[in-house]
């Protein structure tokens, strides 16, 4: 695998072979993939990428697989929507929505990371794949495992939304509902990973898995005409997504693929009831203090984020900021995105919109600059969050008279069609 030298520790830089490893045995720092960028420079061109498949695999030269992709062949290249209506509502000049609500096959950005992880698990000849999940990851692991012919185990907190549970069970994994929060689920999975030779995508396969998130950033740059926006707002649970979007953009810059410098400011969005990284950003502290999650944004409910420190460093290093969103703001954010752009996002999307709104009102995102909102999952998975706030507009008898009377009584005015 000439393009990959191996793994290296993010802290001490110690090299490791490209094996299913994730922690440095000397300093306990996280391992990440080490690429030979000199070998890639000149061969990975805009033309080569544009002639590739309409999926994450058009960026295969910057993903840590040896051969051809085994699963997720239709994942990625989701729309980057010029959100003019939302921009007006937010008082912004230029807003884009990176819309992973329509990602294939399980309708969240997790399909990006899992497609890479399952392909890598097959290369390592694992027979069983598994994960600890707040919902979206479980959906994706179960779907891709089915496609790859692998047995799968998904461990979730027992109180997740029905959409997330059904969206996992339909693929026939072994779903284990754990009576505890995500951090407790994750600790259990670490113990299981030590006992069984399974590919836990977010544990022993994590260095490869996390690289899939870079494609989110690659696509933003390519879809903007090989440039970066001035601001990106990213939702955070464990913190990996913002790190990898930034890494992907810097790789493009390093390889000469961008039209200009990578001058983007990275901002972080978290729920008020589970926002330890944003709290650290606001306090200007590198210490990420674990919290007990209490939020309707269950997909972001990780109280002890594994990559929190590194997410903090990216945001602070890029001159960005972080903001929280209350449960009420999350719901309003979901409804605002849906009513202005026709995009139904899950609660994490509501967090992103609401936090961006706060950042704009504070002047941290100037209204005359360009902004990309990272919308990472589909609203059909979290209907419970908005259901209590929605109601049928009119209930009528099946007659035109009943309709007209109801319209009048509710003060709904529509210009009638001119029949003359």
User: What is the DSSP track for 274-343?
Assistant: B-HHHHHHHHT-S---------S-GGG--SS-TTHHHHHHHHHHTT--EEEE-HHHHHHHHHHHHHHH--
- Given a cut of 50, whether residue 258 has pLDDT beyond it is yes
Query: pLDDT digits over 190-218, tens only?
Result: 999 999 999 999 999 999 999 999 999 99
Provide Rg for the chain, Cα atoms.
22
Q: Which of 388, 57, 360, 344 minimizes the C-alpha distance to 211? A: 57
Residue 77, Ramachandran bin (φ over 0: left; ψ between -120 and 50: alpha; else beta): left
Q: Which of 40, 39, 35, 33 minimizes the C-alpha distance to 9? A: 33
Residue 272, Ramachandran bin (φ over 0: left; ψ between -120 and 50: alpha; else beta): alpha
Q: How far apart are CA 38 and CA 57, in angstroms?
A: 21
- Given a cut of 80, whether residue 332 has pLDDT beyond it is yes
When pLDDT is cut at 50, 70 and 90, the band that residue 418 belongs to is low
Query: pLDDT digits over 382-393, tens only?
Result: 999 999 999 999
- Given a cut of 90, whether residue 42 has pLDDT beyond it is no
Q: How far apart are CA 72 and CA 66, in angstroms?
A: 16
Beta bridge partners of residue 34, listed in sequence order: 6
What mean pLDDT comes out for the span 368-381? 98
For the chain, what percent of residues have pLDDT higher than 70?
98
Q: Which of 325, 327, 320 minimizes the C-alpha distance to 354? A: 325
How many helices (H) and strands (E) in the chain?
16, 13
Q: How far apart are CA 320 and CA 322, in angstroms?
A: 7
DSSP one-letter code for 19:
S
What mean pLDDT comes out for the span 26-49? 95
- Given a cut of 70, whether residue 70 has pLDDT beyond it is yes
Give the CA angle between residues 216, 174, 111 to the nearest 5°.
Answer: 10
Q: How far apart are CA 279 and CA 13, in angstroms?
A: 29
- Taking a C-beta distance cutoff of 8 angstroms, is the pair 29, 9 a contact? yes
Give the CA angle between residues 29, 134, 383 to the nearest 5°.
Answer: 150
The number of residues making up the chain comes to 420
Q: Which long-range contacts (CB under 8 A, 24 or more apart) does 388-396 make?
A: 389/331, 389/335
Query: pLDDT digits over 336-368, tens only?
Result: 999 999 999 999 999 999 999 999 999 999 999
Q: How far apart are CA 114 and CA 130, in angstroms?
A: 11
- Taking a C-beta distance cutoff of 8 angstroms, is the pair 220, 98 a contact? yes
Which pLDDT does position 181 carry in this prediction? Answer: 95
State pTM to two decimals: 0.96
Residue linked to tokens 């045995």? 25
- Taking a C-beta distance cutoff of 8 angstroms, is the pair 9, 27 a contact? yes
When pLDDT is cut at 50, 70 and 90, the band that residue 419 belongs to is low
What mean pLDDT comes out for the span 270-283? 98
Residue linked to tokens 């692998």? 150
When pLDDT is cut at 50, 70 and 90, the band that residue 93 belongs to is very high
Residue linked to tokens 């509710």? 410
Which H helix or E strand runs over 139?
helix 136-148
Query: pLDDT digits over 97-118, tens only?
Result: 999 999 999 999 999 999 999 9
**419 burial type by CB count under 10 A (0-12 exposed, 13-18 middle, 19+ buried):** exposed
Mean pLDDT, rounded, of the chain:
96
- Given a cut of 90, whether residue 420 has pLDDT beyond it is no
Which pLDDT does position 1 carry in this prediction? Answer: 45
């Amino acid at each position: 695998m000439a393009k990959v030298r191996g793994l290296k520790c993010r802290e001490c830089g110690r090299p490791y072979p490209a094996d299913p490893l994730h922690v440095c045995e000397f300093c306990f720092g996280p391992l990440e993939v080490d690429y030979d960028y000199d070998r890639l420079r000149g061969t990975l061109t805009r033309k080569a990428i544009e002639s590739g498949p309409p999926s994450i695999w058009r960026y295969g030269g910057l993903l840590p697989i040896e051969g051809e992709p085994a699963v997720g062949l239709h994942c990625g290249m989701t729309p980057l929507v010029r959100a003019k209506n939302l921009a007006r509502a937010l008082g912004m000049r230029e807003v884009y929505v990176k819309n992973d609500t329509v990602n294939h096959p399980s309708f969240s950005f997790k399909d990006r990371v899992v497609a890479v992880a399952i392909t890598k698990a097959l290369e390592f000849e694992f027979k069983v794949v598994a994960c600890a999940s707040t919902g979206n990851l479980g959906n994706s692991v179960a779907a891709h495992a089915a496609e790859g012919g692998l047995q799968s185990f998904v461990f979730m907190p027992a109180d997740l939304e029905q959409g997330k549970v059904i969206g996992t069970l339909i693929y026939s994994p072994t779903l284990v509902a754990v009576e505890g929060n995500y951090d407790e689920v994750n600790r259990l999975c670490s113990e299981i990973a030590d006992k069984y030779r399974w590919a836990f995508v977010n544990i022993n396969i994590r260095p490869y898995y996390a690289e899939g998130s870079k494609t989110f950033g690659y696509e933003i740059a390519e879809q903007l005409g090989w440039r970066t926006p001035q601001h990106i707002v990213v939702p955070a649970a464990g913190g990996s997504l913002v790190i990898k979007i930034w890494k992907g953009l810097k790789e493009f810059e390093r390889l000469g693929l961008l039209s200009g410098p990578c001058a983007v400011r990275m901002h972080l969005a978290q729920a008020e009831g589970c926002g330890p990284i944003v709290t650290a950003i606001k306090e200007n502290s590198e210490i990420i203090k674990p919290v007990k999650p209490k939020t309707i944004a269950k997909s972001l409910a990780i109280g002890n984020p594994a990559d929190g420190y590194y997410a903090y460093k990216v945001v602070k290093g890029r001159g960005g900021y972080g903001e929280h969103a209350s449960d009420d703001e999350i719901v309003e954010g979901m409804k605002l995105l849906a009513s202005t752009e026709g995009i139904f996002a899950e609660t994490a999307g509501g967090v992103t919109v609401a936090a961006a709104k706060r950042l704009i009102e504070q002047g941290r995102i100037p209204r005359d600059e360009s902004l990309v909102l990272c919308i990472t999952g589909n609203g059909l998975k979290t209907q419970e969050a908005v259901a209590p706030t929605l109601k049928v507009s009119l209930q009528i008898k099946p007659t035109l008279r009943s309709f007209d009377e109801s319209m009048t009584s509710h003060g709904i005015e529509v210009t009638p069609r001119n029949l003359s």
